[in-house]
Structures are given as C-alpha cells and as structure tokens.
Structure 1
C-alpha cells in the first residue's frame, strides 16, 4: 500500500508460541527462565516492533482504508459522524505505526553500533511520554468507534466481505476467533494487536531490567517505562470496559435517548441499575454517571448536569449525597452505606477528571488517595430558569454551584457584565454593557455592585455620549455625582451635585456650555427648585427662589459695577414690579419698575441723593448665597460615603466602592469589547494598603510627625483623605472656577474652604479611632470641643488643604478687591518715581534713622547706592509674602520684614533699638512701596479671613493691622499725588 513501509527484510515475521505459561522469541537461543543478555532482549524488542508494525500495516490496508472507501449508503443517518471517527482512527493508527518504525530504526542502530548510542536513545525508553500520547490517541479513537457502533453499521449486509478481509490477519493475531458477528471480528482485529503488543512490551522490559546492573544509568529509565506501559495496559482495559458499558446502555434505551446519550464523547461510569440510587425530589427513574455529565432519566425527559459544575456533599448520618448544580439541588439516596461510598467515590473522581479536561491516567481515581474536587472552579454555563440571568451565559469562577469570583455574563440581546460575583449575584466592581437600538451604541456602567444591583461609586458612559461619575443606590444614580453632556450636544452642560432616585435633587451646580451661565442652588426632580444663585458670563449675579425651574418672588440682582437691585425681575434680568436700586455712588431709587414702550425702563419712585459717598470697599462686599446655603449642609453627598466608610471600620475591600476610583474618559467611538476594559487607578490590594495606612497613622501622632503624615495622605491618590480632598476640589472648581468666577461668591467660597478643612480633620479623627479600635484601644483624648477642634483645624489641616483651593479662592479675592487694589497700584506707581531719600523725606522718616551715615562716599556715590540698597533686605523679605499660600507663613514673612527693618535701624544707630509705631509705620510704608507687591489688598484680606484665630489680638494681628494701614496710606497717597500739578512740592505732600 503506498505510504506504508514494509517490514524490515532482515527479519522473518512469525507469531510467538506459548510454552507452559511463557513464550520463546524466534532466533533466541536462551532457555526460558535463564538470564537473557541485554542484546538478546533488544533483538527480541526489534522483532516485536517489526511484528506490530506489520500488523498495523495490514489492518490499515485491509480494514480501515477500505472502510473509508466503502459505498456511502451504509453511513446514513449518522454517516458523517461515523466517517469522521474512522478517519481519526486511521490517522491514529498511522501515527502509531510511524512511531513503531522510529523505534525499529533506533533498535537497529543500537544493535549495529552498540557503543555509539545508549538505551535512552530508544523512543520507548527515552521518549516514553510521547509514546504514551500516541497510544492514548489510538485508544480514544478506537473506543469512540466502539461506542458509536461504527463497526456494526458498516458490517450490515457485507459479513463475508469483511471476514475475507480479516482472515489474512489471522497469522498475526493469535487467539483471534472469527466466529460471531462481523463487527466483533472488526473490533478484535483493531484492538488485539495493541493489547498483545503492550503485554509483550512489559515482559521484555522486565527481562531487560534484570539484565542491567543495579546502578546502570538506564536502570531508572527502564523501571519508569515498565510502570508507564503497565499503566497503559490498565488504562486500555478500563477504556474498553467503559466503551462496552456505554455501547450496552444503548440497547436499554429508546432510540431518542440512545442518540442523545450514547455519543462518542460519552463514557458510562456507573448505572443505577447496577448499584441502585434514587434522586430526591426529582424522583428520576434512572441515574447515569458519564465521564462528563450526571444524567437523570424521568420518562422521556433527560436532566443532564455538566460534571464541571456538580458539587457533591455527603449528608451526615444519612445514606444520602447532596448534589448542587447551578440551577438545581437534589439528593442521591441509597440503602446500603457501601453503595453510597461507591457513588460518592465515582462521582468525585469523574468531577476531577472533567475539570482537568482529560481522562485520568493510569485509571480513574488511581493513586495513594482519591482526589477531592475543588470547591472553587472555572467553567461556562447558560442559565435556563427565569430571572435576570435567564438565557445568560456565565463564564468564570464558581463556588458551590454559584458564580463566585471573577467572571463574564453574556445575554443573547447583547448585554454583557464583566466583573466580580458573590453567591450568584454581581457583587464588587463590574462593567455592565447595554446595547442600544443605534448600531454600535452602548450604555457602559463601570460601577460597584452589591447583591445584583449597582451600589456605590461608578462611572456610566451613555450611548448619547453623556458621562456620569458618582454614586449609585439600588441601580439608580443617588448621592453625589457629576453629569457631563455630550461634547457636541445642542445645549452642552455639566451638573455637579446631588441626586435622588436617578434625578437631580438637593444642592448642585449646573453650568451651561453655550451661555456660560452657572446655577448654584437647590434642585428637585431634575428641576431648579428652592433658593438659587445664578452667575452669568457678563458678570451679573442674582439670587432668587425657583419653583419648577422658574423664578418666583423677589430676589437680589448685582451688576458688574456693583449696582444692587432688590425686588422682582424678569428672566432676562429686567426689574419689574416693586423694588429698590442702590447705585455704586450711594444713591438709591425705590419704587415701581416696568418696561417702557421702547427701549429703557419706566420707573415711578423716589430717588435719594442725600446719602454720603460710600467707602470704595463697601459696595464690593455684598455677598450672595451665604445665608441661603449653610456651609454645613452643602455637600452631604460627598462627606456621607466617607463617614459610612469609617463607621464600617474602613474595610479595604470596600474602599473603592465608597471612595471612588478614576478612569480615563475617551470620546473616541469604540467597539463593544473596548467598553469592557477598565484601567482603574486602584488596582493593587486595597485591603492591604488600608491596613498599612492605619498602621502608619498610629506611628505619626506627634504634631510634627502628624503634619508630615497628613501632607502625605492628602497628596495620595488612593488614601481616603486624599480621595476626599480631590472630590472636594472638584466641587469647588465647579462652583467658583472658570468663567463663572464672581466676586459676590467670595463669602461662600472662603466659608466652604474652612468647612472642608473641618471635615477632613474629622475624617482623620475617624481613621485614628478605627486604627485604635483594631488594636483594642480607645481614643485617649476626650471628645474635642468646638474651640479645640477649630484650633487644630487652623493649625494643622487648613494650611495643608488651602493650596488645593487657593487658585480659585484667590481669584475671587482679586475680583472682590479690584477697585481698592487699583488705587493701591496707582499709589505704588506714583511713589516709585521718588528717589529713596526724597521718599523717606516725604514719609516723614526721621533722618537719624536713614541708613546713610554708614556710607563714607561722595554725595553722588551715596545717592546712587541709596537708590539701590536702602532697606533692601526688608524689601526682599516682604516680597516673599506672595511665594506661599499658608496664612501663617505669610504672617511669619511679615514678622521677619519687621525684624529686618529694626535690624537696619539698630545698625544705623549703633545700638539695639525698638521702633515705636510712629517710627515703624513710615518705614513700613517705604518698604511696602518699594516691594511693589501686586494685589496686596487681596492678600491682606485672605490672610485676615484664613489666619488662625489664636493670633487675634496678638503680634501677628498687630503686624497685619500695620500692613493694612500702609496699604490705605499708599491708596490715599496715590490719590493726592494725582491731584498735584506737574512739578511736585514735597512740603505740600507732607
């Protein structure tokens, strides 16, 4: 036959003869029972391999290949399946013969050149694992044909033909009987050569072992091969027994059940007709254990359970096994305890085999002790019962019949859920994808789940390209959250605030992307409802009451020039009805307002011009929202999850759910599978990191160490304090940053920063309490009173928190104090034109305090140096006030500036000198004017508002008051200098 090598010509094929329980190989001159030398054993192995190769060649030529070329009619109705099985059997047989030929060549080479190769070069010894795999494939192919009754199908009506094909093999197949059915003859012809070959392999290898010295290098190889081929022989017998049992099962079943159960992939391991067992409460008539499924038969119905998802637990003190599957639980009951042991052992071993995905070798359950199926497994399953998992396919980790661990759910309608599960429900972080009617559009929820519903922090990317970042409860947006509209939406917006049952409700801020208008206030059912402040991009700011998204009742309207209107006005901000206008110059107009027939405003009222011109700083101090929105109640949705986290004992596994995570948002359209990826910032072990943070907290309780710890925690992206700070920064920027920044919100902003510092301090105290409780300790200090807490907040927390809000906060101070700073800048510009000596004279600084007598130079030289160096150290020191944001550090800069002034004066006088206020103020005005600090008014007011209350009435308060006096003097000096003619007379200025 082309493609099949003929036996080696030097060897005559003959069949071994049995002799008194032993056998003699042709060509051997050693008596049976004698010591066979190694070369004789190898020669016998050679003849054995040649005999087996010839048998395989004849089987392939006379049986398998003719079967594949037979008339296709006998193959119906399952002809395609049978044909594929025979093709696989032929391929396996050819591989087995190819392996045998390789063994022949290696034996020949060793016999002809014994010194060049060792025994390890023989495939049956050195490549035993590869030999094993080829044999296993042949056994699997043969038994599959046996189960599918392929030989019975092809033998129909052609008995004599196939008998004629098998008779030439008789001389190679000792003991083969040709009596009986043709299918039995075919089966024996395909199996018996392998069985005999394995038996003779073992005998020859045993004799080879006996011929080798005790410490021969190949001794271990031979012993391992003996064990392997012995196991292979046992496996062959087990595979044949299971195939025969499966084939016999078909005769006891109806045609429909037979087609469903007696398939090539199934092997029957146990039948309840052999060892009785009853399934309760299903009351199955028959229980069948296959190598991949547990099957219950009840009438015409088949209940099949994938063994990978079957958990078996013995019931204590009862002859019963509790069986748990993804959708069913039942019990297997027996009468005899021994029968229970058999069923439990066989089911357990079959489950282990199914989980490994391959048959046990050497035999099912072999080993020193039966293996126990793991409680945690990985498998795929499609749910059938009703509920939200109906028809969904779950692939992932399981525990005791329930999805438990990481996994993926896929529904037929395109929905997907990838994430963590607990006891069959979505629990932990997960990504839920919901397809929409529009092609390739999805709602993607990246969220934390609790018992099947979204609960905790999450991110939702809607198919409309809107994005929500915030908290969920019972599957709905609830708590604090941020909603961004699609970038290309007709009316783009961003809402930052509170939600209730999927609707904006509570305190929140919404900014209109087109008009730049910003609403700050209360919401209900997705509409503005309650007190609210609106800031326009034109600088107009108004406060009113809203109901169902419309203004109702009177309000307050502030214009860019600080004109104030109190009364009712229209939605386009036109006064209408009763009201009062207060102009920046102090005049008031009170009466009735209405729209005229043309442009302008009709008014009937009283204009009061008797009021005194207001202080420049008075009109800019009008603040909105402070009373309408108490600072303690603005952001409960932000503080709340952190309080819950601390009350729960700071569980690390819930840190991400309660405190949030961060992912990068992409506006690029993506495919469905791209949505199911989420790179979160919290990918490490949260529980372990939380433990480390609490341990570190206990080690840093001293003031200096505590400040370093708080600094590190607030800068961390995963620490609870750092996460809370970042969320508060987000709300602060949404309220006071960008184009919507308005000076009339400065009061709200500075109060909010202080409140955030208090909340962060409370959060630290809560973490400390949890850390101590874990150590079995209580918080040593007594509960803090309000005064003590405020001191700690201003001393420790506020300086660390303020930099995060400083940019937006200082911008509001700049806008608020812009008129005052403009006058101050004019004064600085005017005073900068004076030489130093003239300016000192103008400020009435006593000449004995001038730092001129130290310089022994000519007048011109002295004048030049004075211009550049007079009180230079104090000036440079004061300029550092803008290099820090901490109010205490700014005050320390001011204190050092005062010290530098006194040090310079003491050097001039040649003795220690303390400056009285009358002498200090002119010198400080000089230093301030030369320092040229921009926006000094905003700096002074921010320091005053944010400084530690403990400094009130102390040195720092005194120095800040002195700086305020200098600021006012420079303002007034600038105004006076502007009124002078072109040539200044310093005596007039004094």
Structure 2
C-alpha cells in the first residue's frame, strides 16, 4: 500500500505539470509570437532568450511527466512496482539538471530584461492578462507587467522544488532503517536541497545584476548588459581602490572583471586573471597577460571579501560552469590554479600586438606548450617560458608570395633562436645547424634550392650570420669545391680548390680570390709552384715539375690572344724522386691544423658535457625529427610537432649515463661503444653522424681527389680522438653523479684506446670516401699490379713455383700419407690453397687490426703447409718466405691491393710498429712491388702461350 507522502508527490507533480503547460500557453507562446521579424538587435536577442526558455520549460515538462507516470504506476500497482523505481529516486540527477537548465534560462531573460522589453510592445494584450496572472500568483500588490511575467514563471517553480524537499524528507521518515530505498531517498533529498540553494543564489545574482544596469550610464550598460553576466561584487557595496590604475568603480562578474574609468571600460577575462596575495592585509595583486595592478581595501574584512570572490569566480570560470559551491565544487577555501590552458589575443603595442596565443599559461605568462598566431599569417608553435619562446618551436613567416613561407624548426632561448635548428626558407634554401642570438653561429650546412641558377652547398662554420672559419663550399654550376678558411662570407686565408676536371689549386685567398704564391696541380700530375693572378693564371716567378721529373723554372705570364708564355730553364736531367714533391701533391697538409677544422661540431658537445649533461639541453645538442615543412604549412591552423622521444632508442640523459657506468670493462665497453655509435639518437652516435656529413661534404663527389688523401687520413684519426674524448667526458659526468671521480689518462693509454678500440669502430663510417681516395692515389701502381697478376695467372702451379725460385724441397708435391681432402688441397692443382683462401679475407673487413690478423693467419698457413711437407716444424727465413708469399698473393688475386696495404699501414695501431704484423705487412708490400716490376712481365712465359722473344 502506498504512503500518503507518495500520494502527495503524485498530486504535486500533477499540479506542476499543469502549471507548466498553463504558463507556456499563457506567457511563453505569446512572447514568441511578438514581432518575430523585428530587425532591432534587442528584439532578436529577446526572441532568442525566450526560445531558449521555452525549450527548457518543455524539457522540464517532459521530465515531470515521466516522474508523474512512474508515481502513477506505483500507486496503481504498489506490490509490483517498487519505491526505488520512482523517477525522483532512481534518476534524480536528470530531474535536477532539467530544473537547473530552466532556472538558468529564466535568469538569462531576467538579466537581459527580456520581460520588460517584450511587454512594452504589447502592453494592451498583457494588461488584459493581468487578472489571469494574479490568479496564478495570488498577487495582491500592483507592479510592472514585466515583473508579473517573471514572477509567474519563477514562483511556481520555486514552490515546487521546496515541496520536493519537504515531501522527500517526510517519505524518508516513513521508511525503515534498512529499507532498500533509504539511500536513494537521502541522495535525492541532498540533490534537491542543493538545487533549492542554487535557485536562491541564482535569483539573487540575477536580481543584483538587473538592478546594476539602472546605476550605469548608457555606454557601459550597452557594453556590459549581456544575458551571461552575473554580478558577484560591486565596489559601491564594498569599497576598493585599484593602483596604479585609477578606477572609479570595480565590478566583478562571474566571467569578467571590469574597471570603469569615466567612459573608459576595461574588461579582464577571469580565465586569465591570477590572484596574488599581498604582504599588506588590506591589499592583494591581480596579474593579467598585459597588466598588473593591486586592489586596496579599507580593512582586512573588505580585502578578504574581494579576494575570496575574485578567486572563486576565477575557479568557476576555469571550470566552464556557472555552478555555485553548493552544487559540489567543494571550494571552501578556493585557490585558483597557477597553470591554465586558455586562448588570448594581445591588445597592447609591442612584439605580440594582435597576436593570439592559445596554450598553457603560468601566472599570466605563456608557459609550456602553445601556439602564437599573428594576423599577417605568421605562426609559432612550441615551448614557452615566462612569456617568451623557450625550447623547441616551429615558426612560419609568410613571404611576399602567398604560398611562400620561411619555416624555422629550431630551439629558442628567451624568444631568440639558439642552439640547433633547421630553417627552410621561402627561396627553397635549407639551413641545418646552430644559431646564436637568432643568427647562424657555429657549425651549419646551407643548401641552395635544387633549381637555383647557381646551386651550391656550404658545410662549415658561421659567425653572426656569416660564413667564418673553416668551411667547404661546393659550386655545382662551376663544378668546383673550395676547402679552406672564410671571413665575412668570403674566402679568406689558406684554401684549396678542387675542380671536376681534376685541376687543383692551393694558396691564400683574399676577397674570394687567390693571391700571391700558390700551387696548381694538373690532371696529369704536373705541379706548378709560383704566383697567380686573381683569375688563377700564372704570373711571375714559378716552377713546373712534370710527372716524369723534368722541371721548368722561370718567369711566367699571359696576355690576350697570346696564351701562356714563359722564360726560364728546362731541366731534363734524370733525378731521383723527391719526397717533398709527393708531399706537395697532398693538398691542405699544414694549411689547416686537423685539431681546429671542426671545432663547431665538437664545441657544442663539450659545452653539453661541461654543463653536466642536463637533460633539457640534450635535444638542442642532438637535433630532432619533425614533419616536413610542406606538411606543416598546409594546416597552418593546426600546427603540430612530433619530435623523437626517448623510447625511440636514445633514452633519457640519466639512462645514458647510468648505462655508461655498467659498461666500463674492456669487452663490455667495446660492445657499448659499438651500439652507441650506431644509434643516431645517442650523443656519441649523433656526433659521429655529424662528422660523417662533414667528411662526405669534403671528400665525396668532386672532392674524391687523390691529392686530398693525406687531408682525409689525418681527419679520420682526429675524429677517433675526439670521439674518445667525448666518451670520457660523458663517463666523467656519470661518475660525478655517482660520487666518484675519473682517473686521469696518460697519452700512451689514450693512444692505445683510440687506435685499438675506437678507430676500428669509427673507420667503417668514413671508409667508403677514404678508400676511394686511396684507390685514386695508387691507381697507377694497382694497374701495374693487376697486369702482373694477369700474367702470373697463366702459369700452372709447378711452373709458377719454379719461376718464383721456390726451393723444390718446399713444394707440396711429395707422396705423403694424407687424407683425400689434404691430398686435394696440397698435392693436386691448388698448392697452398688454405693460405690463399685465408689471404682473400684481407678485403672482407675494414678493421686494420683484423686485416693484420688475416696476414698472421696466412703466414701461419704457409708455415703449416711447409711443415707438413717437410714432416717437421719449420720456420721460414725471409729468403724462403717472400717467394712463397708472392705465390699466394698471385693466386689470391686481391684487387686494389696497393690501396688496401697503404690504408692498413696508415690506420693500424702504432703498437704493431716493429712487430710481426709490421714485418708481414712489409713483406706483403714487397710482394706487391715485386709483381709490378717490369722485368716480371718480360720474363719467360709458357711456350704454348707466348715466347720471351715476342716480348
């Protein structure tokens, strides 16, 4: 059986439903029909507000009808329908939300004075409805028709919610303590009690806001009178002064702080207002993006009122709700968050004038990640700190052409580009490198547009936006490369020019021209030493050394139509080779100290280590991965940047340093260094890749010139030294963080680690370009060697052994007690097959140490074969070893053996000098030279192929 309280609830819902339907037809429908086509802005605004109120009333009626149906079902079948199925109990949130939306729509109309404005136009009609309104409201006093309409729409609603609370409390008292619906009823009582408080506060604020408009002059009223505003505090009620601004009146709305100064109205969005308590108990400070000022009250109580209400209003504005504390915000002592994410357009003159910032803020300054957009199309997205671009950021700067932008993907420091960056200009030029104070500074690479009339690439050092220091420029149009010093964007100081035709120059440059004495190397290896004109023609005293050793020394000159002429002495005497002449043919040696060539690459790494490897500087050191500029420029409104993160292989700085500590043992260290150098995100790997770029820029393409081999060789060794120093620097920081110190390292230990450990790991990265230079340098000798190998390959094994004067008792041709496999390898056609196959592995590795190990094993195989032939262990003297080694080399047929030998000797660990490996490498070089000799090719060959007389 249902309780009287449930019956009363049913009756309450029936009355309220009927009242809603009556007020809708009596008030809202006529309001909607009043001048719907009126062009006046106020009329359109009123119509929009009434439509919103009508929609809210209809939704509230729907909810009431559903509650009514659930109550009716309960009353007709109390045994079948439980109390917990009532709409008011099972879905009280939905009911409360409908009431809340209705009261918000009503107070919007109230604040905008919608009812007063609407009744003025149809005053006769509404006067005729006054009697009906009085019956609805039980009005006894006379008032305006607008006021009567407002009361008719709000009073029944307020009484209804009040009755909800009373009846639900009575219903709760009738239930047993453990009744299943007890908790539901209590929850509903709490929600409707909060709703009742919300309605009272909402109506009070609306009435205060409505009353405010009558105290303002027309201009402020027109600006501030909007339906969304709710007055929270007025300085007329609680006096406060604003310094240094002299505001006559201060108004705090729920979304805006307003300062009135005569006809001047200054508004501040509360989402961008920070409250900072002052030291004085009667004062607190206000921070906004472009202004700061203080509120001064007459006493601490007034100060507390203003500070508390401003702080509470800021918190509510940031939540995006018009809730009051009674609806669960829980802000007893509100504290506005220091960090926020809001959009704001700057209005004051300055760097950010008219720019819109959208992103994170901290205490009234852009701080964190955000986007700046200027009206002219300029955009900046990235990291900010204290109002300035700070950290990684991408900036697009429009050019004169609408579809052209300069795209800066750089690191910024206090609003200025610094550290590493990539700039793609509207001219299609691209710069990758370092900046300082917004200018190119340090190491960087500048590429011209691919379709430029004079395409070029500069790889080198910059100073305050200009090429300065050591650098490489490739002029693809002229087919030449300049390697040398720069100053103020011009070639200045010692330099080398390598041309595509094979002609090379070395000298001193001034104002982009070579002046004074210099060197010219022709394609045929002719060497000129003397003075030049600015257009690189011979002028004055000089000396020409021809490839055959002849020299021409005298005075050189040229003229229009006369060509080159000289007056001097031609020396055709056969002279022994001059070692200094070979060194002169290696350009750049001594002109550019290898230690100072690439300081712009090493410098940032040293600074990073010197600073203690801070994590926030790691990306600025390493660079970053960003989407292509085309992808960024297309959706300018949604600029984004997805840079590489630690999980893609590099790890954080702390992880890198900790891993260093775990890999200090020799074997573990080698494995760690190999992994680090192959990782493009590891500090050492990034450093190596940058050095690879400089190496390729110098020695690949046009730079693949044999006269640069010495320059390249010493550069590779220097890079190995610098990478070892970089590793030691990281290790020192790691140990210091762990409370330890790094032991000092003497020169011998350092050289041992560099040549024995690091150089073999580094060499593969430069091997392609480096080996090409060795090939070109030893091309002639390798050609003679190849011809000698071709001639020796015509000999069968026994004839070749005989020809090489190998003593017959060392030949592996005796009838030995061998297995079938051994007999095949030692007796039949292939003599010393195991040694030959071993030597062929000489070209399968780029590691000089492994190449020397191959030589040792080859020597061991030769001695082992001879020992098996002799039946006893036998050590070969040099007279016996050299012919056998020539035999093995001729059968191994290693291509470009001269280049391989010289590269191995230049790059091998000095610890091997004077040892067995050095001896074997010298023996291999002797074989190489022996095979090249002219008499070797003129010797007797097998009669069935060719006779000696024919040669």
Q: 1:291 aligns with which of 254, 263, 272?
A: 254
In structure 1, the residue matched to 2:55 is: 91
When structure 1 is superposed on structure 2, of 115-124 and 385-394 the one drifting more is 115-124
Q: Does 1:754 align with 2:717?
A: yes
- DSSP-derived class of the 1:78 partner: helix
Paired with 1:958 and 1:580, the residues of 2 have a C-alpha distance of 39
User: How far does the alpha carbon of each residue in 1:588-622 deviate from its partner, in whole angstroms, 9 at most, with x for none?
Assistant: 12223344776864332221111337599975982
- DSSP-derived class of the 2:541 partner: strand
In structure 2, the residue matched to 1:869 is: 830
Q: 2:529 aligns with which of 545, 566, 585?
A: 566
Paired with 2:917 and 2:650, the residues of 1 have a C-alpha distance of 45
Q: 1:198 aligns with which of 161, 179, 196?
A: 161
Q: Does 1:632 align with 2:595?
A: yes
In structure 2, the residue matched to 1:404 is: 367
**RMSD between superposed Cα atoms in Å:** 2.8
Distance 1:864 1:406, change over 3 A: closer
In structure 2, the residue matched to 1:11 is: none
Paired with 1:719 and 1:448, the residues of 2 have a C-alpha distance of 19
Paired with 1:441 and 1:660, the residues of 2 have a C-alpha distance of 25
> TM-score under structure 2 normalisation?
0.95
User: How far does the alpha carbon of each residue in 1:390-435 deviate from its partner, in whole angstroms, 9 at most, with x for none?
Assistant: 2211111111111110111111111111011111111000111111
1:570 CA displacement: 5.7
- DSSP-derived class of the 1:363 partner: helix
1:884 CA displacement: 1.1
Q: Is the 8 A contact 2:826 2:833 kept in 1?
A: no
Q: Does 1:477 align with 2:440?
A: yes
- DSSP-derived class of the 1:81 partner: helix
Q: How does 1:66-77 map to 2 (within 5 A)?
A: 66-71=30-35, 76=40
In structure 1, the residue matched to 2:617 is: 654
Q: Does 1:507 align with 2:465?
A: no
Q: Is the 8 A contact 1:433 1:443 kept in 2?
A: yes
1:957 CA displacement: 1.0
Q: Does 1:933 align with 2:894?
A: yes
Distance 1:970 1:601, change over 3 A: same
In structure 2, the residue matched to 1:22 is: none
1:838 CA displacement: 1.2
Q: 1:729 aligns with which of 692, 698, 711?
A: 692
In structure 2, the residue matched to 1:9 is: none
Q: Does 1:606 align with 2:569?
A: yes
Paired with 1:50 and 1:280, the residues of 2 have a C-alpha distance of 58
In structure 2, the residue matched to 1:882 is: 843
Q: Does 1:821 align with 2:785?
A: no
When structure 1 is superposed on structure 2, of 538-547 and 179-188 the one drifting more is 538-547
In structure 2, the residue matched to 1:363 is: 326
1:289 CA displacement: 1.3
1:45 CA displacement: 2.2
Distance 1:618 1:522, change over 3 A: closer
Q: Does 1:459 align with 2:384?
A: no
Paired with 2:79 and 2:451, the residues of 1 have a C-alpha distance of 83
Q: 1:839 aligns with which of 800, 806, 820?
A: 800
Distance 1:952 1:862, change over 3 A: closer
1:281 CA displacement: 1.8
> TM-score under structure 1 normalisation?
0.91
User: How far does the alpha carbon of each residue in 1:881-920 deviate from its partner, in whole angstroms, 9 at most, with x for none?
Assistant: 1111111111111111111111111111222211111111
Distance 1:161 1:974, change over 3 A: farther
Q: Does 1:133 align with 2:97?
A: yes
Distance 1:688 1:194, change over 3 A: farther
- DSSP-derived class of the 1:629 partner: coil
Q: How does 1:340-739 map to 2 (within 5 A)?
A: 340-361=303-324, 363=326, 367=330, 369-569=332-532, 574-595=537-558, 601-612=564-575, 614=577, 622-663=585-626, 665=628, 670-671=633-634, 673=636, 676-682=639-645, 689-739=652-702
In structure 2, the residue matched to 1:26 is: none
Paired with 2:791 and 2:638, the residues of 1 have a C-alpha distance of 63
1:305 CA displacement: 1.5
How many equivalent pairs are there? 949
Paired with 1:957 and 1:880, the residues of 2 have a C-alpha distance of 18
* Structure 2 spans left out of the alignment, 5+ residues: none
Q: How does 1:123-162 map to 2 (within 5 A)?
A: 123-156=87-120, 158-159=122-123, 161-162=125-126
Q: Does 1:851 align with 2:815?
A: no
Paired with 1:273 and 1:666, the residues of 2 have a C-alpha distance of 56
Paired with 2:560 and 2:368, the residues of 1 have a C-alpha distance of 73
1:549 CA displacement: 1.6
Q: Is the 8 A contact 2:938 2:948 kept in 1?
A: no
Q: Is the 8 A contact 2:410 2:417 kept in 1?
A: yes
- DSSP-derived class of the 2:800 partner: helix
User: How far does the alpha carbon of each residue in 1:480-528 deviate from its partner, in whole angstroms, 9 at most, with x for none?
Assistant: 1111111111111111111111121211111123343111111222222
* Structure 1 spans left out of the alignment, 5+ residues: 1-36
Paired with 2:882 and 2:656, the residues of 1 have a C-alpha distance of 50
1:985 CA displacement: 9.7
Q: 1:952 aligns with which of 892, 913, 917?
A: 913
Paired with 1:401 and 1:551, the residues of 2 have a C-alpha distance of 58
1:279 CA displacement: 1.4
Paired with 1:339 and 1:88, the residues of 2 have a C-alpha distance of 38
Distance 1:840 1:59, change over 3 A: same
Paired with 1:237 and 1:486, the residues of 2 have a C-alpha distance of 70
Distance 1:115 1:739, change over 3 A: farther
Q: Is the 8 A contact 1:433 1:676 kept in 2?
A: no
In structure 2, the residue matched to 1:17 is: none
Paired with 2:583 and 2:937, the residues of 1 have a C-alpha distance of 23
Paired with 1:177 and 1:489, the residues of 2 have a C-alpha distance of 90
Paired with 2:889 and 2:504, the residues of 1 have a C-alpha distance of 35
Q: Is the 8 A contact 1:682 1:718 kept in 2?
A: no
In structure 1, the residue matched to 2:150 is: 187
Q: Is the 8 A contact 2:232 2:252 kept in 1?
A: yes
